[in-house]
Amino acid sequence: MLRSAPEMPFVCLTDFQAQARERLSKTTWDYIEGGAGEGFTKEDNIAAFKKIRLRPRYLKDVSEVDTRTIIQGEKISAPICISPTGFHCLAWPDGEMSTARAAQAADICYITSTYASCTLEDIVATAPRGLRWFQLYVQRDRQLNKQLIQRVESLGFKALVITVDVPITGNRRHDIRNQVDLKTNLLLKDLRSPKESSGPCLQMSSIDPSNCWDDLSWLQSITQLPIILKGILTKEDAELAVKHNVQGIIVSNHGGRQLDEVLASIDALTEVVAAVKGKIEVYLDGGIRTGNDVLKSLALGAKCVFLGRPILWGLACKGERGVEEVLNILKNEFHTSMTLTGCRSVAEINRDLIQFSRL
C-alpha cells in the first residue's frame, strides 16, 4: 500500500511565499505581491541586502545570546515586528485577529493598519496583552482623524504611525489590470464606532494629499502618543522629522508599492540614521527575508525591522499558526546570525560587522 508523502515543513520565509501563491486567488495574490510601476524597487528591496557582506568575529563566548530589545520604551523578544498592511481577511477569515494573537504570542509589536478588515475593538479583545501601534492615513476630515486617534488611545495602542508616502496611491499595474477597487469591494471598519452597524466607511480616496509638516503640530496637540513617521527615505526629511519633534522614523518605500525607482530601504537607512544623530529611533521595513537581513539592518543603525508581505504569506498558509511560524523562523535565523558573528546581545551589533560588496 502506497503511503502519502509527508507534508514538507516550512523552513524559510520563501517557503510560505510559494504556498501562499497556490492558496490565494490571482487577484488577491497580485494585490499582496504587486509593486508600483515596473516593480524595480520591490525587487531591489530584497536584492540590495545581497550587496552587503558579513564580517564575523570568532572565539567569543556565545553560549548565551539574547535577541531582546526595547522600542519606544517597551520590551520585545526580538527586533522583528509586524508592519501595517491592510485587508488581512483577504488572506485568512479571522484576518487581523489572527495576526494580533500571533504577535502577542511572539512578544513583538504589531502595527495595525487604518485599512484593517476587523474592528480595532475585536483586534484588541482577541490579544489584550499585545504591544500595538496604530498606523494612520491622515484623512481630509480632521474630526475623523481626531475620533480615530482618541479611539486608539482608549484601546491601549502605544504609538501612532503616520504614513507619509501616500498623498495618492502609486501606479500599481496589477491592480489596474485586475480592476481591483478596494474602496467599494471591501468593508473598512476602522472608522466606525463599535455601536454603528454601517458607515461612515473609510475610503482610500479620502487620504489628505495636502497633509504637510506643519500639520504634525496639530496631531501632536491632540495625542500624547509617540508619533512615528513611516516612509522617510532621505536625510533632508529625517532632519525635518527631528526638527518637528517626532519620536521615530520607519525607513520605508511602502514595499515598492508607491514610487518605483526610489532607493531600496536598506540603501536609504544609512543616510537617515546619520541625519538623526541618535536623537530618535530609526526602524526599517522592506525586503527583510532572512535573519542575516535583520542583522545587517541593525548593523546599519536600525533599532528594529518590520515585516509586511511575509506576515500575509504566513496568514494565507496557516492563519495565526502561520504568522507565528514566520516570526519564529526569522527569530531563530537572527539568533543564529548573531551567534555566528559573535554578538551576544543586540547592543553588540554594529557597523564593523558588515562591508559592502564591490560587485
Binding site residues for FMN, as ranges?
84-86, 113, 135, 163, 230, 252, 285-289, 308-309
Nearest Cα to Cα of residue 329 among 54, 16, 11, 1: 11
Q: In 10 A of CB 325, how many CB atoms?
A: 20
CA angle 319, 320, 326 (to 5 degrees): 90
Query: What are 228's strand-pairing partners?
Result: 161, 248
Q: Which three cell numbers stand for residue 210?
A: 495636502
Measure the N-to-C terminal CA separation of the chain; round to a whole number of Å.
Answer: 53
Which residues belong to the annotated binding site?
31, 84-86, 113, 135, 137, 163, 172, 230, 252, 254, 257, 285-289, 308-309
Contact 282, 305 (CB under 8 A): no
- Name the amino acid, one letter, at 14: T
Residues forming the active site: 254
Nearest Cα to Cα of residue 192 among 285, 284, 122, 247: 122
- Asked, as a colleague might, if the bond just before 200 is cis with ω within 30 of 0, I would say yes
Integer Cα distance of 286 and 45 in angstroms: 6
Which residues belong to the annotated binding site for glyoxylate?
31, 137, 172, 254, 257
Report the sign of the C-alpha dihedral through residues 56, 62, 65, 71, in that order: negative
**Which residues does 353 contact at the CB level (< 8 Å), separation at least 6?**
54, 55, 56, 57, 295, 299, 341, 343
Beta strand 354-356 with 52-54 is: antiparallel
Nearest Cα to Cα of residue 32 among 345, 222, 255: 255
